[in-house]
Amino acid sequence: MKYVLISRPKFDETTTYLYIWASKVIAFLERLNFRVIDLKNKKANKKNIENALIKKNPLLVIFNGHGSPTEICGHNNEVLINLENKEYLKSKIVYSISCNSARELGKKVADENTSFAGYENEFIFLMDKNKACTPEKDEIAKPFMECSNQFSISLLKGKTTGEAYEDTKRKYNEWICYFAAKEYLPEASSIISCLIWDRDSFILHGNKEKIIL
């Protein structure tokens, strides 16, 4: 049985958006018959994460939530992974959609048999405040969602971590070009500035040849 572990707390506007975005990846995983360990809301806590990592040994671990250079957080910013328990992530593919966590933690987790993809700086995105209650219908946030989900989707299509990383960078560039060509839209330059920031902050450490299929 191939397990994928997803952590998706939901306790503020930012985590609510990430939570909804992750549901698209979960739907994709279920279509491919992966067993998804979906640690959502309050279940996104340290005890559950460590139990799942030890007992189920997932191939892929996706974190959504807040973070810091040395931490990945869950529900109400409880620290899920830091420099003390980072060994639980060894030999896995880790995708951390949480600010700054690739900077120090990601570097230390990654090795020749472990891949860690994530963001070195703050992960920034724009939203339409009139759509905050229905993030799935937010067209302003859509480019960020697509770029954010691309790494997981590419892995699920059988690509290596290195290829999934390149696909993600390409997806950012596609959206940047799309809005550059539509500079008459009032939101275009704001969206481009955020996409450039996230694109340049996204990084892959460790093994670039790992696959999950």
- Looking at the Cβ atoms of 59 and 141, the one nearer to another protein is 141
Separation between Cα atoms, residue 188 and residue 167, nearest integer Å: 22
Angle at 196 between CA 178 and CA 20, to 5 degrees: 80
- Looking at the Cβ atoms of 13 and 87, the one nearer to another protein is 13
**Min dist. Cβ of residue 145 to another protein (A):** 12
Size of the site for another protein (CB under 8 A): 35
The residues in 106-125 that bind another protein, with binding defined as CB under 8 A, are: 122-125
Q: Which of 58, 15, 18, 53 is nearest to 36 (CA)?
A: 58
The residue written with tokens 């009032």 in the block is 186
Task: Please enumerate in sequence order all residues whose Cβ is within 8 A of that of 133, keeping only pairs 6 or more positions apart, or say none.
Answer: none
Interface residue with another protein among 33, 84, 129, 184 (CB under 8 A) is: 129
How do strand 202-206 and strand 115-119 relate by DSSP bridges? antiparallel
Separation between Cα atoms, residue 164 and residue 48, nearest integer Å: 28
Interface residue with another protein among 130, 137, 158, 182 (CB under 8 A) is: 130
Interface residue with another protein among 30, 111, 187, 209 (CB under 8 A) is: 187
Site of interaction with another protein (CB under 8 A): 12-14, 17, 66-68, 73, 77, 98-100, 122-130, 132, 140, 176, 180, 186-187, 189-190, 192-194, 196-197, 200
